[in-house]
Amino acid sequence: MSDTQQIICSIIHFLKNQLSDGSLSQDGCESLEVAIQCLESAYELSEKDLSDIKVSLPEILKTHTTAPLDIAESQEATPEQKTEAEKFKSDGNNYMKTGKYLEALDCYTKAIKLDGKNAVYYCNRAASFSKLNNHQAAIEDCKNALKIDSTYSKAYGRLGLAYTSLKDHIKAKESYIKALELEPDNESYKNNLLLTEEMLTNTSNASPNFDIGTLLANPALMTMATQMLSDPGMQNM
């Protein structure tokens, strides 16, 4: 089931709860029933899909809208909390491997709530935000990770990826340079930096008649682009 289908399933689950809580008029209930049927049909959802809700709609909204606790104000986690947080991180990593990015996001958020001073959890959640195309949230999580550990090269690497996705190549370049200062032998960071510099050069030299096809026809550049978009640090979370 795709991320889109998972979101629609969460919406349908929420709407069905609205039907059963008695707060709607008869006309309102009938309208909701039609809406539910249309969603199920449009997204080709089975009964199995609808029964397999990993994250509810209120949980999704809470994850994306709740103001995060300032890291400086986070309480030191107890040994028990750290153990539980590590389990959530492990579950999140497994979800990432199978493409279940919403579930991964939820797990990393739970880990952060238990141990808000662990840079890895923020960096991992940044990866899930990036997969969900929420690049601004990924940037904030990378910055939070770096507040905790300013020597965390992977956070700089993911920060560069997020800035690249937003076409902010200047900040992406700065991030990759920082990542390489901390991990100078990392080939992926080197390739990403070269790609970003190439993009900056082509942007500054672009004329009204600039042919993007020429850029895309460069095999070395496209190889680097493929490596960059694969997010090399994912397997070592």
The answer as to whether 68 is a domain residue is no
Rg (CA), the chain: 21
Indicate the average pLDDT of the chain. 83
Co-location of 144 and 172 in the same domain: no
Q: What is the CATH number of the domain that holds 2?
A: 1.20.5.420
- Asked whether residue 64 is domain-assigned, the answer is no
Lowest model confidence (mean pLDDT) among 27-36, 117-126, 156-165, 177-186: 27-36
234/167 same-domain check? yes
* Better-scored residue on pLDDT, 231 or 60: 60
Q: Is 118 helix (H, G, I), strand (E, B) or coil?
A: coil
Taking the alpha carbons of 130, 134, 135, 136 in that order, is the dihedral positive or negative?
negative
Give mean pLDDT, residues 77-95. Answer: 97
Label residue 21 by pLDDT band (50, 70, 90).
Answer: confident
Domain membership of residue 45 (yes or no) is: yes
Q: Do 200 and 159 sit in the same domain of this protein?
A: yes
How does residue 29 score in pLDDT terms, banded at 50, 70 and 90?
confident
- Domain final residue, candidates 104, 133, 148: 148
pLDDT at 1: 62
- Of 140, 207, 198, 152, nearest to 178 by C-alpha is 152
What average pLDDT does range 131-137 have in this prediction? 94
Answer whether residue 71 shows pLDDT above 80.
Answer: no
The answer as to whether 61 is a domain residue is no
User: What is the per-residue pLDDT across 152-163, written as a single tens digit (0 to 9) for each?
Assistant: 999 999 999 999
Residues 103, 78 within the same domain: yes
* 58 domain residue, yes or no: no
In a domain, 63, yes or no: no
Residues 155, 143, single domain; the answer is no
Instruction: Please state the three-class secondary structure of 184-211 as a single string.
Output: CCCHHHHHHHHHHHHHHHHHHHCCCCCC
* 157 and 215 together in one domain: yes
Cα separation, 24 vs 21, in Å, equals 8
Q: Is the pTM of this model over 0.75?
A: no
pLDDT for position 203: 76
**Domain shared by 138 and 163, yes or no:** no
218 and 158 share one domain: yes
Same domain, 165 and 197: yes
pLDDT at 33: 87
pLDDT at 67 over 50: no
Please tell me which residue, 136 or 40, carries the higher pLDDT value: 136
More confidently predicted of 121 and 23: 121
Query: Is the same domain home to 199 and 225?
Result: yes
Residue 224 pLDDT grade (very low, low, confident, very high; cuts 50, 70, 90): low
| Number of domains present in the structure of the chain | 3
Same domain for 137 and 155, yes or no, is no
Asked whether residue 177 carries a pLDDT value surpassing 60, the answer given is: yes
Judge whether 42 lies within some domain: yes
What would the mean pLDDT of 142-166 be, rounded to a whole number? 97
- Could you tell me which residue, 11 or 106, shows the higher pLDDT? 106
Is 80 exceeded by the pLDDT of residue 236? no
Q: Which domain holds residue 8?
A: 1-53
CATH number of the CATH domain containing 102:
1.25.40.10
| Contacts made by residues 87-96, CB under 8 angstroms, sequence distance 24+ | 88/114, 89/120, 89/121, 89/124, 89/237, 92/124, 92/125, 92/128, 93/124, 93/237, 96/124, 96/127, 96/128, 96/131, 96/234, 96/237
Same domain for 141 and 202?
no
Q: Is residue 82 part of a domain?
A: yes
